[in-house]
Chain A
Amino acid sequence: MINFNKFYKLFGVISTSLVILSIILLFFKGLNFGVDFKGGTLIELRAKDNQTNVSILRDAFNKMNLGDVNIKKFGEENDFLIKIEKKDTSENIIQLIKTDLTKSIGDTYNFRRVENVGPKVSSELLKSGISAIFLSLVAMLFYIWVRFEWQFSLGAIIALFHDVIITLGLFSLLNLEINLSIVAAVLTIVGYSMNDTVVIYDRVRENLKKYSDIKIFELTNKSINETLSRTLITSITTLLALISIYLFGGEILKGFSLAMIFGVVFGTYSSIYIANPILVELRVSQKTILKEETE
């Protein structure tokens, strides 16, 4: 048996500081929103020759008066990702860019992907992304409140917030792009983290019924240990799948799988070190669940 409960305090401090740090990052550094949420144009370009490089492209695009243009390499040798901040969805903008680009670097490229999002659509997508995340948190809160006692539901929801905030904080720190698929990843993290917490809570509740003489401090530790191998095995298989997506699933899924990898790691950690200490703090005992049942 591993004494997880010995480190409740230590990890409590660490988690709290990480959350505060993440909030500070989110406030002051903010998130790197992609065209989905900020509007603008994104072009994935593949060069047909080996001469084309970032600086040649940058010179060509700077001549076009498109405002801020961000150009970087993207995956394969001759692939580049061009982000244009200016929001212009007029029907011939892409054509104009192509004409200008061919003038400066010749017909040595093709556009593999073009995404052009107007300001109205991007603000709507942002709004619906945020409300989807909040809605999922509320739905989880509701589910857990129906299935468990309020102390459990508080613990689970704090663990969830912890995971979501730290994942976003990490995205802010590493300046990774937030797009629609990241919202999908965050929602899946919410589901996964909840899933992990619920399995341990299920065991805590079962043990509360079984043992009236074990204090919650010991009891959470016992429950974590009893479910530990499941927690680890599931995390490992999920991580194996995610790492495979990250390494072999192509550039487009990189951000998504990375967010999920962070989320699974934090979710596993938080179901042990956030969800359980909260039960201890709230002095959950056999009475807590018996009271609920007689009511």
Chain B
Amino acid sequence: MLYFSKLRIILISLITAFFLILTLSNFSNFGGSLLSKKINLGLDLQGGSYLLLEIDNDPVELQKLQNTTTDIRNFLNNEKIKFTDLRISKKSIIFNIDQKDKDTVESFFTDKNSEINPYYIQYSSHQFDLTILGDEFQLKLSEYGLIEIKISSQDQAIEIVRRRVDEVGTNEPNILKRGNDRILVELPGLDDPMRIKSLLGKTANLSFRFITQNDNDTFGAETLKFDDDINEALVSKRIILSGENLLDAQPNMNTQTNETVVSFKLDRVGAKRFGKATSDGIGKQLAIVLDGKIVSAPVIRDAIVSGSGQISGNFTFQSATDLALLLRSGALPAPLNIIEERTVGPDLGQDSINSGIISLFIGFTLVIIFMIYKYKIFGLIANITLLINLFFLIGILTLFEATLTLPGIAGIILTVGMAVDANVLIFERIKEELKDEKNNIIAFDTGYVKSKTAIIDANVTTLIAAVILFFMGSGPVKGFSVTLGVGIFTTLFSVYFIARTLTSLYVVKNKEKINLI
């Protein structure tokens, strides 16, 4: 009942001391692994940039359709099955089959061991969905086929994004997958993400291709613009060399022409192919194509067999550095679009921290004064509990190295305001009990028991709101739900362990006192 062992009091003091130290460790360096823990400041408090990138998977999808079309052509030729009018139309592969072969061909695509249309056991679905209309076969990427494509391009893209961001050398970037076609990049401390944005906005698809004079190139040709958007040239579709064959790229100064260039080194395969192509093509113009634009098109004077070379163009040192960086980190599988950006400058972050702390201090002081005015000694107990509750809350956030945001600070202040509720419910109940019950200790005890359901109900409702917010909210708002939710638990704990111990000590000492509260 009302007897608390010394052990319990010691235990509670120890726990309180532990969280007090954790709280204080945010403001100074104690050293030691546990005590070096600190609350992470969200981007809105420490300043930094939040970028949400979306992968444009259309080109990847089209590439997949083209590859599959080629596969189907080869496959049906091998099987000696006649087909006509094989084509891609509106994201479907379409072809016609003779009546007599229909069943055979259908089974090629719907068999679970199909070579041409892989079956995903985990999804119970094929890569392509088959529809047959008369003699016409239509293949469309199935829901899961599409997801597979997205996941694999996301995997590749995040790797490239990581490399590019790392190369720029920002402070502890955070790069995460979102859904299956998005990548989140958080860059703490960066107040102008301009350079990173322009680096991430480029696919960096590099190819070396010959410039031709006529359209009847065996591989086909296309007209591409130069970097200046004015001049054009007809470029063969045959790729001599692509960015994949690059081992290294560095910005450099060409001492002869005094031009900034990007010098590159090729891998063994690349060097061989480049050597052969350049010795065959002396006198021809070799176009260096980056993301569909010609960077430069030098005339080949000698065969280049060393496996290294230079790209010249109208580079400044910065743009040469960036191009080298892009080439080193590799090409993105698909273009990335920035669909959301939030950047907070460090001075605004510091202002937010300051005003957060000031309003916490003022809110706390107002609540303390009000509680003392209202409940005297019991108000003091509620206030001590409140202070310890604050240590618990900040201590737990520190322990888990949670991220504190500006709305998160608001959540802490709100917790201060609402935390006294449980104590108020109890105190009011004790007051009521004292009207009929002359024994202080019994009144005190029944007060605690009878107020319990109301306290639990009241806190569960707030907790429900916090949990929903945690799962549905994003960014800073999530930080609010964390402090609000954790605050509920620390409040209940401090009310039932700290406040109850303190009140019982007081009540036992003042057994005979009239007008206890």
Residues of the B chain whose Cβ atoms lie less than 8 Å from the Cβ of A190: 465
Do A132 and B476 form a contact, CB below 8 Å, given A113-B345, A240-B366, A241-B414? no
> Does residue B322 face the partner (Cβ distance < 8 Å to A)?
no
Interface string of A57-101 (1 = CB under 8 A from B): 000000000000000000000000000000001111011000000
Interface string of A116-151 (1 = CB under 8 A from B): 111011000100110110011001100100010000
Indicate if the CB atoms of A256 and B410 lie closer than 8 Å. Answer: yes
Q: How far is the CA of A256 from the CA of B358 in the complex (A)?
A: 17
Tell which of A187, A199, A236, A256 touches B469, judged by Cβ atoms closer than 8 Å. Answer: A187
Do A140 and B461 form a contact, CB below 8 Å, given A234-B418, A237-B370? yes
A32 CB to closest chain B CB, in angstroms?
Answer: 19
> Does residue A244 face the partner (Cβ distance < 8 Å to B)?
yes
Q: Which of A3-11, A19-27, A247-255, A276-284 contacts B (4 or more CB under 8 A)?
A: A247-255
Indicate if the CB atoms of B410 and A253 lie closer than 8 Å. Answer: yes
Indicate if the CB atoms of A136 and B477 lie closer than 8 Å. Answer: no
Tell which of A139, A184, A202, A237 touches B457, judged by Cβ atoms closer than 8 Å. Answer: A202
* A205 nearest in chain B by CB position: B453
Tell which of A91, A243, A249, A256 touches B200, judged by Cβ atoms closer than 8 Å. Answer: A91
B window 369-412: CB within 8 A of A: 370-371, 374, 406-407, 409-410
> Does residue A242 face the partner (Cβ distance < 8 Å to B)?
yes
Q: Which of B31-39, B70-78, B130-138, B424-432 contacts A (4 or more CB under 8 A)?
A: B424-432
* B340 nearest in chain A by CB position: A121
* A191 nearest in chain B by CB position: B465
Chain A: how many interface residues by the 8 Å CB criterion?
A: 70
Q: Which of A95, A239, A248 has the most CB of B within 10 A?
A: A248
Indicate if the CB atoms of A91 and B465 lie closer than 8 Å. Answer: no
> Does residue A175 face the partner (Cβ distance < 8 Å to B)?
no
> Does residue B13 face the partner (Cβ distance < 8 Å to A)?
no
Interface string of B481-503 (1 = CB under 8 A from A): 10010000000000000000000
Indicate if the CB atoms of A241 and B363 lie closer than 8 Å. Answer: yes
> Does residue B2 face the partner (Cβ distance < 8 Å to A)?
no
> Does residue B52 face the partner (Cβ distance < 8 Å to A)?
yes
Do A249 and B359 form a contact, CB below 8 Å, given A89-B341, A113-B344? yes
* B202 nearest in chain A by CB position: A91
> Does residue A114 face the partner (Cβ distance < 8 Å to B)?
yes
> Does residue B29 face the partner (Cβ distance < 8 Å to A)?
no
Indicate if the CB atoms of B194 and A95 lie closer than 8 Å. Answer: yes
Indicate if the CB atoms of B454 and A140 lie closer than 8 Å. Answer: no
Indicate if the CB atoms of B469 and A184 lie closer than 8 Å. Answer: yes
Q: How far is the CA of A271 from the CA of B201 in the complex (A)?
A: 53
Q: How far is the CA of A186 from the CA of B500 in the complex (A)?
A: 33
> Does residue B270 face the partner (Cβ distance < 8 Å to A)?
no
Indicate if the CB atoms of B410 and A249 lie closer than 8 Å. Answer: yes
Q: Which of B197, B413, B465 has the most CB of A within 10 A?
A: B465
Residues of the A chain whose Cβ atoms lie less than 8 Å from the Cβ of B473: 132, 180, 183-184
> Does residue A238 face the partner (Cβ distance < 8 Å to B)?
yes
B interface bracket (residues with beta carbon within 8 Å of A): 35 or more
Q: How far is the CA of A223 from the CA of B18 in the complex (A)?
A: 42
* B358 nearest in chain A by CB position: A248
> Does residue A198 face the partner (Cβ distance < 8 Å to B)?
yes
> Does residue B230 face the partner (Cβ distance < 8 Å to A)?
no
* B466 nearest in chain A by CB position: A191
Indicate if the CB atoms of A121 and B339 lie closer than 8 Å. Answer: yes
> Does residue A226 face the partner (Cβ distance < 8 Å to B)?
yes
Residues of the B chain whose Cβ atoms lie less than 8 Å from the Cβ of A260: 414
Indicate if the CB atoms of A191 and B462 lie closer than 8 Å. Answer: yes
* A111 nearest in chain B by CB position: B345
Indicate if the CB atoms of B418 and A192 lie closer than 8 Å. Answer: yes
Tell which of B342, B359, B370, B374 touches A245, judged by Cβ atoms closer than 8 Å. Answer: B359
> Does residue B113 face the partner (Cβ distance < 8 Å to A)?
no
Indicate if the CB atoms of B464 and A181 lie closer than 8 Å. Answer: no
Q: How far is the CA of A125 from the CA of B194 in the complex (A)?
A: 25
Do A118 and B460 form a contact, CB below 8 Å, given A132-B469, A240-B366? no
Do A249 and B355 form a contact, CB below 8 Å, given A135-B468, A187-B468? yes
Do A181 and B413 form a contact, CB below 8 Å, given A135-B472, A229-B428, A248-B355? no
Residues of the B chain whose Cβ atoms lie less than 8 Å from the Cβ of A113: 342-345, 348
Q: How far is the CA of A239 from the CA of B366 in the complex (A)?
A: 10
Indicate if the CB atoms of B407 and A238 lie closer than 8 Å. Answer: no
Indicate if the CB atoms of B413 and A180 lie closer than 8 Å. Answer: no
Tell which of A91, A120, A230 touches B428, judged by Cβ atoms closer than 8 Å. Answer: A230
Indicate if the CB atoms of A147 and B337 lie closer than 8 Å. Answer: no
Residues of the A chain whose Cβ atoms lie less than 8 Å from the Cβ of B351: 250
> Does residue B116 face the partner (Cβ distance < 8 Å to A)?
no
Interface string of B292-318 (1 = CB under 8 A from A): 000000000000000000000000000
> Does residue A104 face the partner (Cβ distance < 8 Å to B)?
no
Residues of the A chain whose Cβ atoms lie less than 8 Å from the Cβ of B363: 240-245
Chain B residues at the A interface, C-beta cutoff of 8 Å: 44, 52, 54, 194, 197-198, 200-201, 337-345, 347-348, 351-352, 355-356, 358-360, 362-363, 366-367, 370-371, 374, 406-407, 409-410, 413-414, 416-418, 420-421, 424-425, 428, 432, 453-454, 457-466, 468-469, 472-477, 480-481, 484
Q: List 25 A-B pairs, Cβ < 8 Å.
A: A44-B348, A89-B339, A91-B200, A92-B201, A112-B345, A112-B347, A115-B341, A116-B340, A117-B339, A120-B339, A128-B472, A187-B469, A195-B462, A229-B428, A230-B424, A234-B421, A234-B424, A238-B418, A241-B363, A244-B413, A248-B359, A248-B362, A249-B355, A250-B352, A253-B359
Q: Kindly list the 8 A-B residue pairs having the minimum CB-CB distance in the complex, ordered from nearest.
A: A241-B417, A191-B465, A244-B363, A132-B472, A250-B355, A194-B461, A91-B201, A248-B359
